[in-house]
Structures are given as structure tokens and as C-alpha cells.
């Protein structure tokens, strides 16, 4: 029987000392945790300071830039889609235990650590990470019939093992897993977008449709492979199970092992400074480029209110139309101009089995008080492209707003910039649910409803939670009306200045504006 169990004064004193010892131990643990966080922060900032602009470019494009070559638009090879499953649980745990801001920072740190290991494997097998999508990424292996891609996917499953079980600061155990899909065939490798804003690497073609079907059939910890790859492999792959896509009848295999005698030749290292800043600049949004160039990319990562817009569309034949690249480029450039007019950023372009889509962010990296209004105004303009885009069909848009994790993420060998959170997923779901037109969430309605008219629609059921989600559709008010309402809020002198300037044209000199300004008394104030 311990002394602390006694009911006398000595027992009371022992229990006091026990509590004191427990408190000292708890404080010691807290200090150790805080010290660890500080060390991790310093390491992250050191890594960000050493970050190269070239890491925002896919590795095969980087190699081509160094040697002065150009990658062909038509290519043949294999693609991998990998998705890290379980980040929803770790997101909730970290935000609950550390708060929204610190939780978001820790989440990105965990994601970066995992991506670092996965990207290293892609580069070791001479692949290139073409695009990211939250906690997923797509990699391309040129002139590969699938052997290298499958080997790489199985290797990534192995390097994922140390991350299979993570503990939150409060010792909550969270299970993470990787699922991978592999498909091969001829693709279009396109560079689209305005270089003054950002160029975006896009992978398209029927193998991407196969990849999407395989991903839907994959479960946590599995590598699901296109049937054609298995046939070409000549029994070098161990198939544990066959599965069939209900929508198309296409067969896919769950591969657990591979006997691959192919010698892997990793990419040669790109020397520091081999890709000049001016060459790399078009690959980053201007605001991102400036911070990365100045070694301040760690300040890109933050939790902030933002609005996201997803736009889906059909009408481009990426397999059969020789002009597919030019058509997509023109459509993306127009979207970039519209979104930039409202100070938003087009962040990603994706082509898949359910048509193509892109997503844009408003409020990151540049924030405004009316980002929800800007997102809806942009959506209204984007839903009705001019006659030159009559081949584009099936435009559907989802818009949502809320707290987002905005910032640079990825590994030391490949990074990107994104805006992610539960509202990103909701905006994508609204786009997919809408047969046509624009659907907005309740947060957009509550934030922008005083400026724009909305119709309340029947709620939709969320696939993830099963809960009914309120949905609203903005009434097609002309953009001129939106802008006019903003002008009406300005003082009379500023309204007159803008109206006189608009008569001159889109661009004008201050000298000409002052010369034709009707009120002499206000001319000295025009510069202001």
C-alpha cells in the first residue's frame, strides 16, 4: 500500500507531491513539444529559403529547359495517380488540438514530408510529377509501357510505410494509406495559359480516362493497373484480384508485386541556377514568383478566408483533334483574363473521364473584403463565353467560401501552390452536381447576397457526410450592373474621374485626363 493511499496527513502530503510531480512532467512534455515545433519551424524556413523556382516545373520540362529542347505535344508512356488517404482525420485532429492556424501549418508539414518521399521515388524511376490535387498527384513516365510506372507505384507503397500511423500532439493515432492507379497509352502533353500570368502543364487523352476509372476502383494500400499493361507485362506482375468498372465494363488488376529486370536510371541533377528566373517566371503566378525568388515562400502558407470556383466543361477532343491544344489554350487564357480582372488566380487545369475542369481562388494570395462577390461575378462572366468558343459545351460552375489553407506545398524536388479545405471539396461537388449554370454554397450567399441577387434551390445531399447542403444560384445580373453598383458607392468626384477616364479608353495618360476634365477645381486632385 503506497503512502499516498493513506487517509492521514502524511497521505495528503504524498498526494500533493504526486500532483506536483505530474504537473512538472506535463509542463516538461509541453516545453519539449514547443521546442520541437520551433526546431521544425526553423527547418521549414531554412528549406523555404533554399527553395528553387525550378521546383515548380515538372522534372522533364526542367531537363528540357536546361538542354534547350522542347517536349513534343504528342507523347506515349504511362501515368500514375496517387492519393494519400486519411488526411481528413488528421486535419480534424490537428485543428481541434492546435487551433485552425497552427493545425493548418502542421497539416502542410505532414503533407510535405510524405510528398517529399513519394516525389523522390517518382524521380528515381525517371518520372515527372505533372500536377497536384490537394493530397494527390499525377506523374508521367515517358515511353513506358507500364513496367516502370507499376514498379514506382509499388515502391511508393513501401516508402509510405513509416507514415502509415501518425500521432497528433495529443497522442491521437491517425492511420494514413496510399492508393495508386496506373494506365498507359498515347497522350497530349500541353502547355496552356498566358505566360504573363502563368503557364500550366496539362496531361490529356484516353489513358487519363482509364486512370480515373482505376482510381475509383482502388482501395487504401492498393495499386490498381489497366488491363493492357498486364497483358504487355507477360506474367511479370502478380495480380491478386481483377475488378471491373461498372460504367464502362473495363477490367483492371490489383497488382501486389512485379518481377522487373529493367535498369532504373534516375534523372540527372539539375545544377543550381541552371534555369534562370526569367525562364522560370511564367510557371508561377506573379505574386508567388516574387516571394519564392526572394526566399520568402514560407509566408505563402497561411489559413485565410477565401472563395474557390470550379468550372467544368466539355467540347474538346483531346485524342482526335489536332487543334485540341490550341483550343484549350485559348479557353484557359480567356478564363485567366476574366479571373484576373477580379483579382483572382486560376490555379489548376485537369482533364479526365467526366470532362475537363479548372479551379480558381479568390482571396489568396491577394485578399479583398469582397472576394465572394468577385468569385460570383467572375462565374457569371465565365458561364457565357463569346461565340469564338462555340465548341465549348456543358459549362457548370460551383462556388464556395470559407477558411482555406493557402500556400506552397509538395516536396523538395517538386512543389506547387494551392488553396485547399473542406470548401474546396464542396465547390467541386457543386460543380459536379450542377447540370448547367452556377451553384453557390450558403457562405457565398450570406457574404455576397447584399450585392447580388440569388435564388434559393433545393438542398443537395453531401456524399461525404450525408447531410443536406443549402444551395443558391446567382441571378444573371450583368457584370456592368455589378460594376455600376460599386461605382455608385464612390464619392461624386471619384465617379466623375472614372467616367471621364473611361471615355478615353482602357489606358490613358494623366496629362490627357487632366486636359479634358470638366471641373478645373478638381484637376489638382486627379492623381489622388
Specify the pairing of strand 437-440 against strand 393-410: parallel
Task: Check: CB of residue 343 under 8 Å from CB of residue 124.
Answer: no
DSSP 189: E
The DSSP bridge partners found for residue 401 are 307
Task: Name residue, grid cell 507514415.
Answer: 163
| Secondary structure of 360-373 as H, E, C letters | EEECCCCCCCCHHH
Could you give the 3-state DSSP secondary structure of residue 387? helix
Judged by average pLDDT, the poorest of 53-62, 263-272, 352-361 is: 352-361
Q: Which of 157, 58, 154, 40 is closest to 413 using CA atoms?
A: 58
Q: Which of 355, 360, 361 is closest to 396 using CA atoms?
A: 355
| pLDDT at site 330 | 97
What number of other Cβ atoms are within 10 A of residue 20's Cβ?
10
Looking at beta carbons, which pairs linking 106-112 to residues 24 or more positions away fall under 8 Å?
106/169, 107/405, 108/301, 108/405, 108/407, 108/409, 109/40, 109/44, 110/166, 111/84, 111/87, 111/135, 111/409, 112/409, 112/410, 112/411
Judged by average pLDDT, the poorest of 95-104, 374-383, 433-442 is: 95-104
pLDDT in tens, 300-350: 567 789 999 999 999 999 999 999 999 999 999 999 999 999 999 999 999
| pLDDT at site 291 | 85
Mean pLDDT of the chain: 85
pLDDT in tens, 179-215: 999 999 999 999 999 999 999 999 999 999 999 999 9
What are the backbone dihedrals phi and psi of residue 200, each rounded to the nearest 5 degrees, phi first?
-130, 130
| Higher pLDDT, residue 346 or 405 | 346
Which of 44-53, 293-302, 373-382 tops mean pLDDT? Answer: 373-382
Residue 482 has pLDDT above 60, yes or no: no
pLDDT in tens, 66-97: 998 999 999 999 999 999 988 777 777 777 77
Which grid cell sits at 197?
500570368
| pLDDT at site 388 | 94
At 134, the pLDDT band (50, 70, 90 cuts) reads confident
| pLDDT at site 519 | 72
Q: How long a stretch of residues is the chain?
A: 528
Could you give the 3-state DSSP secondary structure of residue 263? coil
Residue 485 has pLDDT above 70, yes or no: no
Residue 509 has pLDDT above 70, yes or no: yes
pTM beyond 0.75: the answer is: yes
| pLDDT at site 253 | 97
CA distances from 190 to 326, 355, 388 (A): 9, 16, 21
| pLDDT at site 49 | 46
Residue 352 has pLDDT above 70, yes or no: no
| pLDDT at site 3 | 66
Which grid cell sits at 415?
512543389
What number of other Cβ atoms are within 10 A of residue 123's Cβ?
19
CA distances from 41 to 34, 298, 299, 413 (A): 10, 10, 12, 19
CA distance 2 to 5: 5
The per-residue DSSP string of 90-138 comes to HHHHHHHHH-HHHHHHHHHHHHHHHHHHHHHHHHHTT-EEEEEETTEEE
CA distance 433 to 301: 30
Residues 6+ apart with CB under 8 A from 242: 251, 252, 253, 254
| Higher pLDDT, residue 24 or 190 | 190
Could you give the 3-state DSSP secondary structure of residue 11? helix
CA distance 146 to 142: 10
pLDDT in tens, 222-248: 999 999 999 998 788 999 999 999 988
| pLDDT at site 407 | 86
The DSSP bridge partners found for residue 410 are 415
| pLDDT at site 335 | 98
| pLDDT at site 355 | 75
Counting residues of the chain whose pLDDT is more than 70, the rounded percentage is 85
At 484, the pLDDT band (50, 70, 90 cuts) reads low
pLDDT in tens, 260-311: 766 788 999 888 788 888 889 999 999 899 888 887 666 556 778 999 999 9
| pLDDT at site 483 | 58
| pLDDT at site 89 | 72
Sign of CA pseudo-dihedral 334, 338, 344, 350:
negative
| pLDDT at site 214 | 95
The per-residue DSSP string of 275-329 comes to S-HHHHGGGS-HHHHHHHHTT-GGGG-EEEEEEEEEEEEE---TTT-TTHHHHHH
CA distance 138 to 140: 7
Cα pseudo-dihedral 387, 195, 367, 331, rounded to 10: 20
Which grid cell sits at 241?
484480384
Q: Which of 39, 48, 33 is closest to 97 using CA atoms?
A: 33
Task: Check: CB of residue 115 under 8 Å from CB of residue 202.
Answer: no
At 428, the pLDDT band (50, 70, 90 cuts) reads very high
CA distance 433 to 444: 17
Q: Which of 178, 179, 186 is closest to 140 using CA atoms?
A: 186
Angle at 81 between CA 172 and CA 279, to 5 degrees: 105
The DSSP bridge partners found for residue 407 are 418
At 60, the pLDDT band (50, 70, 90 cuts) reads very high
Residues 6+ apart with CB under 8 A from 290: none
Which of 39-53, 151-165, 486-500 tops mean pLDDT? Answer: 151-165
Amino acid at each position: 500500500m503506497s503512502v499516498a493511499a493513506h487517509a492521514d496527513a502524511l497521505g495528503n502530503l504524498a498526494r500533493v507531491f504526486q500532483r506536483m510531480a505530474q504537473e512538472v512532467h506535463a509542463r516538461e512534455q509541453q516545453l519539449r513539444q514547443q521546442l520541437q515545433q520551433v526546431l521544425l519551424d526553423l527547418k521549414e524556413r531554412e528549406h523555404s529559403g533554399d527553395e528553387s523556382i525550378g521546383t515548380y516545373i515538372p522534372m522533364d520540362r526542367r531537363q528540357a529547359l536546361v538542354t534547350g529542347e522542347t517536349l513534343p505535344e504528342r507523347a506515349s508512356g504511362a501515368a500514375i495517380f496517387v492519393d494519400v488517404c486519411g488526411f481528413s482525420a488528421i486535419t480534424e485532429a490537428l485543428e481541434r488540438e492546435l487551433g485552425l492556424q497552427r493545425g493548418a501549418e502542421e497539416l502542410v508539414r505532414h503533407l510535405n514530408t510524405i510528398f517529399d518521399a513519394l516525389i523522390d521515388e517518382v524521380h528515381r524511376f525517371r518520372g515527372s510529377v505533372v500536377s497536384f490535387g490537394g493530397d494527390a498527384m499525377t506523374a508521367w513516365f515517358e515511353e513506358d509501357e507500364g513496367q516502370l510506372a507499376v514498379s514506382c507505384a509499388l515502391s511508393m507503397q513501401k516508402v509510405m510505410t513509416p507514415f502509415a500511423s501518425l500521432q497528433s500532439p495529443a497522442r491521437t493515432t491517425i492511420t494514413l494509406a496510399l492508393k495508386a492507379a496506373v494506365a498507359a497509352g498515347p497522350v497530349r502533353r500541353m502547355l496552356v495559359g498566358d505566360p504573363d500570368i502563368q503557364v500550366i502543364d496539362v496531361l490529356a487523352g484516353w489513358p487519363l480516362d482509364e486512370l480515373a476509372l482505376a482510381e475509383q476502383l482502388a482501395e487504401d494500400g492498393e495499386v490498381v493497373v489497366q488491363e493492357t499493361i498486364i497483358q504487355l507485362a507477360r506474367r511479370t506482375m502478380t495480380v491478386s484480384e481483377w475488378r471491373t468498372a461498372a460504367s464502362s465494363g473495363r477490367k483492371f488488376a490489383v497488382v501486389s508485386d512485379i518481377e522487373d529486370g529493367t535498369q532504373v536510371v534516375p534523372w540527372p541533377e539539375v545544377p543550381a541556377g541552371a534555369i534562370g528566373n526569367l525562364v522560370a517566371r511564367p510557371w508561377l503566378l506573379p505574386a508567388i514568383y516574387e516571394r519564392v525568388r526572394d526566399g520568402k515562400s514560407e509566408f505563402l502558407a497561411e489559413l485565410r478566408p477565401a472563395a474557390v470556383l470550379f468550372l467544368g466543361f466539355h467540347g474538346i477532343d483531346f485524342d482526335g483533334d489536332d487543334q485540341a491544344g490550341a483550343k484549350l489554350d485559348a479557353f484557359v487564357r480567356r478564363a485567366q483574363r476574366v479571373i484576373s480582372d477580379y483579382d483572382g488566380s486560376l490555379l489548376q487545369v485537369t482533364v479526365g473521364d467526366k470532362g475537363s475542369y479548372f479551379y480558381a481562388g479568390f482571396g489568396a494570395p491577394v485578399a479583398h473584403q469582397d472576394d465572394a462577390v468577385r468569385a460570383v461575378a467572375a462565374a457569371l462572366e465565365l458561364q457565357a463565353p463569346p461565340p469564338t468558343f462555340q465548341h465549348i459545351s456543358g459549362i457548370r460552375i460551383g462556388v464556395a467560401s470559407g477558411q482555406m489553407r493557402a500556400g506552397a506545398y509538395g516536396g523538395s524536388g517538386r512543389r506547387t501552390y494551392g488553396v485547399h479545405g473542406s470548401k474546396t471539396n464542396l465547390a467541386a461537388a457543386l460543380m459536379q452536381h450542377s447540370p448547367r449554370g452556377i451553384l453557390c454554397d450558403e457562405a457565398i450567399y450570406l457574404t455576397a447576397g447584399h450585392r447580388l441577387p440569388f435564388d434559393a434551390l433545393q438542398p443537395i445531399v453531401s456524399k461525404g457526410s450525408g447531410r443536406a447542403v443549402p444551395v443558391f444560384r446567382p441571378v444573371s445580373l450583368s457584370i456592368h450592373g455589378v460594376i455600376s453598383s460599386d461605382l455608385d458607392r464612390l464619392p461624386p468626384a471619384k465617379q466623375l474621374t472614372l467616367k471621364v477616364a473611361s471615355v478615353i479608353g482602357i489606358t490613358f495618360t494623366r496629362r490627357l485626363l487632366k486636359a479634358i476634365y470638366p471641373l478645373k477645381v478638381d484637376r489638382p486632385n486627379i492623381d489622388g
